[in-house]
A and B are shown apart, each in its own frame.
Chain A
Amino acid sequence: MSRSITYRDAINEAILQEMKRDERVFVYGIDVADHKRIFGSTRGLVETFGPERCFSTPLSEDALTGMALGAAVNGLRPILVHMRVDFMLLGMNQIANMISSFRYGSGGLVNVPLVIRAVIGRGWGQSYQHSKTMHASFAHIPGIKVVMPATPYDAKGMLISAIRDDNPVIFIEHRWLYDAYGEVPEEPYTEPLSQAKVLRSGKDITIVATSWMNVEAVKAAEVLSKAGISAEVIDARSISPFDETVIVDSVKKTGHCIVIDDDWIHCGFGAEVAARVSEQCFGNLKSPVERMGYAATPCPCARPLENLFYPNAVSLIKKIENKFDLEPIDLTGEDFYSYEKKFRGPF
């Protein structure tokens, strides 16, 4: 029987099931065991497994990141959690200099099975130190995997895969997705950490999205369909390793590609998608690959500026109207998402 749960509960269930299955798995980080439980995602862990396997820590992100490496190479499977990816940057030395190169530096003898969960996402006037994403920066470094599921189904399946993977995996979760409902099997299952996924089929244009931008892209595709444009939405899901097969197959069919990335554009994931699509679909492309993402500024606090900073379904629709020379679509009566109107899904 199908069952619908939230993205938050899907993450929680994945951890609970994996901690039950494998006693080497433990969860730690700033406030993972406090009353808020990382937006509810670490609920029940300390009660079920005790403070040895789920514990809050000092505010020492740098040391906490190094500890994950030490615990992993000594036989455990740590999950380190950051309430904001911005805080995780204090551990960047450990990620870029230590964790990513450890296996290579051991001559392939020592595996590094660890997961770093990082919550991303815009909030309510969070401004520029609580709103980054950083997946392209992490994915730039060989030796780590970077994934960012957009649906409850993928959140559970990919987190279980990440915990079972023998490599370091950075697992990026958008806060706005936490309330999204979707069908999630109760039993444990795995989803690949290296494949994009078609969220909505179409034939006229390929929209490649990351994280929350999938919600915007699916909404845009719904609106565009009323104007006769059939958009295919592909959730990139896995930033590193990045297998472009699904995207290339789609663009060969549609001839058009727009990337809407939950990050800055310059030197970003969109550029990687554009390059791969150009390399492999050169003869099929009917228009240049376009990229959308954050404005090239720090994220502003004031709502009117914040709204301009982020791409969304409306700006994506405008972009596609321009591409196809469409008459402006009447958007009155369309229900777009905002902080005040939580996205509940399903997709």
Chain B
Amino acid sequence: MSKIDRKELNLHLYKHLYLVRNAEEAIRKHYHEDEMKTPVHLSIGSEAISVGVCQAMQPQDQALATFRNHAVYLTKTGETDRFFAELYGKSTGVAKGKSGSMHLSAMDNGMICATAIVASGIPVAVGAALANKMQKNGKVVAVFFGDGATEEGVFWESLNIACLMKLPILFVCEDNELAVHAPNEVRKGYRSLTAIARQYRCHVFSDDTTDVEAIYHLTQEALYQMAETEMPCLIDLKYYRYLEHVGVNEDFNAGYRSRADYERWLKQDPVIIQREKLLSLGCSESEIRELERLIDGQIESSLAYAKSAPFPEPNQLHEDVYA
């Protein structure tokens, strides 16, 4: 890849990282106003995974996410009007305010759904991949889940079926080594997820990088191998969750993890290192600032739009249950 191509790619990836990070920082800033009446599970710290994987895929490819889904939604759609409106419970939201933060979706942009029951989106992704294969439309499905989901039986059922049926699906484990607040030591009776997964007929990758470009290329390699061999793929990507499991605050005083860990990961913060990379690739500070200013403006405008939008009408309670 030439230097110019690489610069363009990294600018593109930075734009997505910046959007995700700052949309969530905006949530943090406004959450105390108590107008966003929906529990939020923020992606801060993990952005490189959602952005790197989704941007390596084609726009028509599909994704399913968890309750920590803002990053996937934002990078798949690039839009913030319906996003913030949904958090504010407004009729202009993704689901007219009926779903809230934990269930963002955008079928037209390939985001099938997000689920708040751990691992429950995984078999749905397998079915979606089966449909894509049967319809021969060439689409790939990426399903995002936390490492806690690998303790659910349905994860293994789904991995088995995907491997058995040779489905075009990418299992992406966003591995922060925590299930809510429980560390690996109280959850795992085995040594390695990837070692077990390698016994299945699929490709397995793992990495602890926070470099979005590295994750982008890793995913491209995974997609290439999947297409070549007609086998699914599992990628285990480590990250550090900066904030509490649910909510907008830090929780280093809770006693289950240390600030020192956070500070170590912060040195490799995905947004900061990507910005530094852009400078090293010859982007000017003013060029980056202009890009950031545009995104800041988008977020501000969407927030204002969401706040001023109407709540759903009473008749909406009963709408949309049945076709």
Q: Chain A residues near B129: list those with CB within 8 A.
A: 70
Q: Chain A residues near B237: list those with CB within 8 A.
A: none
- A105 interface hit (Cβ, 8 Å): yes
* One of A14-22, A92-100, A301-309 contacting the partner: A92-100
Q: Chain B residues near A58: list those with CB within 8 A.
A: 157, 160-161, 164
List A residues 93-123 near B (Cβ within 8 Å).
93-94, 97-98, 102-113
* One of B6-14, B17-25, B131-139 contacting the partner: B131-139
A59's closest neighbor in chain B, by CB?
A: B157
A144's closest neighbor in chain B, by CB?
A: B322
- A57 interface hit (Cβ, 8 Å): yes
B133's closest neighbor in chain A, by CB?
A: A52
- A157 interface hit (Cβ, 8 Å): no
- A329 interface hit (Cβ, 8 Å): no
Instruction: From known contacts A58-B160, A63-B158, A66-B122, infer whether A105 and B105 are also in contact, taking CB-CB under 8 Å.
Output: yes
- B120 interface hit (Cβ, 8 Å): yes
A74's closest neighbor in chain B, by CB?
A: B131
Q: Chain B residues near A76: list those with CB within 8 A.
A: 131, 134-135
6 tightest A-B CB contacts, nearest first = A70-B127, A66-B123, A67-B127, A108-B320, A74-B131, A60-B157
- A62 interface hit (Cβ, 8 Å): yes
A88 to B128, CA, bound (A): 20
A62 to B158, CA, bound (A): 9
List A residues 35-73 near B (Cβ within 8 Å).
52, 57-58, 60, 62-73
List A residues 291-312 near B (Cβ within 8 Å).
none
A109 to B95, CA, bound (A): 8
B320 to chain A, nearest CB (A): 3
- A206 interface hit (Cβ, 8 Å): no
- A12 interface hit (Cβ, 8 Å): no
- A238 interface hit (Cβ, 8 Å): no
Chain B binding site: helix, strand, loop or mixed by DSSP? helix
A57's closest neighbor in chain B, by CB?
A: B161
- Whether B321 and A105, one on each chain, are in contact in the complex, defined by CB atoms closer than 8 angstroms, is no
A137 to B254, CA, bound (A): 40
- Whether A71 and B128, one on each chain, are in contact in the complex, defined by CB atoms closer than 8 angstroms, is yes
List B residues 131-166 near A (Cβ within 8 Å).
131-132, 134-135, 153-154, 157-158, 160-161, 164
**Mind listing 13 A-B residue pairs with CB under 8 Å?**
A52-B134, A63-B122, A64-B123, A67-B161, A76-B134, A97-B117, A97-B120, A98-B115, A98-B120, A104-B98, A107-B94, A110-B105, A143-B321
- Whether B128 and A70, one on each chain, are in contact in the complex, defined by CB atoms closer than 8 angstroms, is yes
B56 to chain A, nearest CB (A): 21
- B96 interface hit (Cβ, 8 Å): yes
8 more contacts with CB within 8 A, not counting A70-B126, A70-B131, A106-B320, are A57-B161, A63-B126, A69-B124, A69-B127, A71-B128, A102-B113, A105-B99, A108-B96
- A166 interface hit (Cβ, 8 Å): yes
A76 to B122, CA, bound (A): 18
B240 to chain A, nearest CB (A): 29
Instruction: From known contacts A58-B160, A63-B154, A66-B158, infer whether A107 and B320 are also in contact, taking CB-CB under 8 Å.
Output: yes
A121 to chain B, nearest CB (A): 27
- B295 interface hit (Cβ, 8 Å): no
A333 to B79, CA, bound (A): 76
Q: Chain A residues near B113: list those with CB within 8 A.
A: 73, 102, 105-106
- Whether A68 and B120, one on each chain, are in contact in the complex, defined by CB atoms closer than 8 angstroms, is no
A85 to B69, CA, bound (A): 34
Report B93-105 CB contacts with A as 1/0, cut-off 8 Å.
1111011000101
Q: Chain A residues near B202: list those with CB within 8 A.
A: none
- Whether B158 and A103, one on each chain, are in contact in the complex, defined by CB atoms closer than 8 angstroms, is no
- Whether A62 and B134, one on each chain, are in contact in the complex, defined by CB atoms closer than 8 angstroms, is no
B149 to chain A, nearest CB (A): 13
A58 to B130, CA, bound (A): 15
B91's closest neighbor in chain A, by CB?
A: A107
- Whether A62 and B94, one on each chain, are in contact in the complex, defined by CB atoms closer than 8 angstroms, is no
A104 to B120, CA, bound (A): 17
Report B45-88 CB contacts with A as 1/0, cut-off 8 Å.
00000000000000000100000000000000000000000000
A166's closest neighbor in chain B, by CB?
A: B323
Q: Chain B residues near A288: list those with CB within 8 A.
A: none
- Whether B123 and A67, one on each chain, are in contact in the complex, defined by CB atoms closer than 8 angstroms, is yes
Q: Chain B residues near A74: list those with CB within 8 A.
A: 62, 112, 127-128, 131-132, 135
- Whether B154 and A70, one on each chain, are in contact in the complex, defined by CB atoms closer than 8 angstroms, is no
- A167 interface hit (Cβ, 8 Å): yes
A103 to B130, CA, bound (A): 20
- A181 interface hit (Cβ, 8 Å): no
Q: Chain B residues near A107: list those with CB within 8 A.
A: 93-96, 98-99, 320
Q: Chain B residues near A69: list those with CB within 8 A.
A: 123-124, 127
- B319 interface hit (Cβ, 8 Å): yes
Per a CB cutoff under 8 Å, which of B117, B130, B321 touches A70?
B130
Instruction: From known contacts A103-B321, A105-B98, A107-B98, infer whether A71 and B154 are also in contact, taking CB-CB under 8 Å.
Output: no
- Whether A142 and B126, one on each chain, are in contact in the complex, defined by CB atoms closer than 8 angstroms, is no
Q: Chain B residues near A110: list those with CB within 8 A.
A: 105, 107
A107 to chain B, nearest CB (A): 4
- Whether B112 and A73, one on each chain, are in contact in the complex, defined by CB atoms closer than 8 angstroms, is yes
- A192 interface hit (Cβ, 8 Å): no
Instruction: From known contacts A62-B154, A66-B123, infer whether A71 and B323 are also in contact, taking CB-CB under 8 Å.
Output: no
